[in-house]
């Protein structure tokens, strides 16, 4: 019986910490999470380390994944972060497909975690 109480307390503490982290830094976490997933998917991080790149960075919509097309007709994707890393992430169509898969896997994992937390909370009543 005592082990069950300890487990419940741990789940509650974990849920509270997750909620606190999400509440305090939702925007910052979202940006850093997006950039992490883009890197994992194979996007190339391009720093705005020249005057031309810095100027170009200001012309791209911030924190949005944008599809572009090169002069030879190939599609690529750009994500600009002028605030945090002062860089752009550039990726191919295959990198974009990998990114979408990673986002879906993360969403499914979060939904499963929420479902488990809800079940544990319901069991505490």
DSSP conformation letters of 55-90: HHHTTSPBT-EEEEE-TTS-EEEEEEETTTT-EEEE
Band the pLDDT of 66: cuts 50, 70, 90: very high
Q: Residue 13: pLDDT above 50?
A: no
Least confident of 19-28, 34-43, 99-108: 19-28
What mean pLDDT is predicted for residues 41-55? 97
Higher pLDDT, 31 or 44: 44
- Sorted by where each begins, the domain ranges of the chain are 27-124
């Amino acid at each position: 019986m005592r082990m069950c109480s300890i487990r419940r307390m741990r789940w509650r503490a974990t849920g509270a910490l997750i909620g606190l982290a999400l509440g305090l830094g939702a925007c910052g976490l979202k940006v850093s999470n997006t950039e992490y997933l883009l890197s994992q998917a194979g996007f190339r991080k391009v720093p705005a380390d020249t005057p031309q790149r810095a100027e170009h960075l200001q012309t791209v919509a911030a924190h949005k994944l944008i599809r572009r097309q090169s002069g030879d007709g190939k599609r690529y994707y750009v994500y600009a972060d002028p605030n945090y890393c002062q860089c752009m992430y550039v990726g191919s169509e295959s990198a974009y497909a990998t990114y979408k898969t990673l986002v879906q896997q993360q969403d499914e994992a979060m939904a499963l975690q929420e479902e488990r937390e809800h079940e544990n909370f319901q069991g505490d009543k």
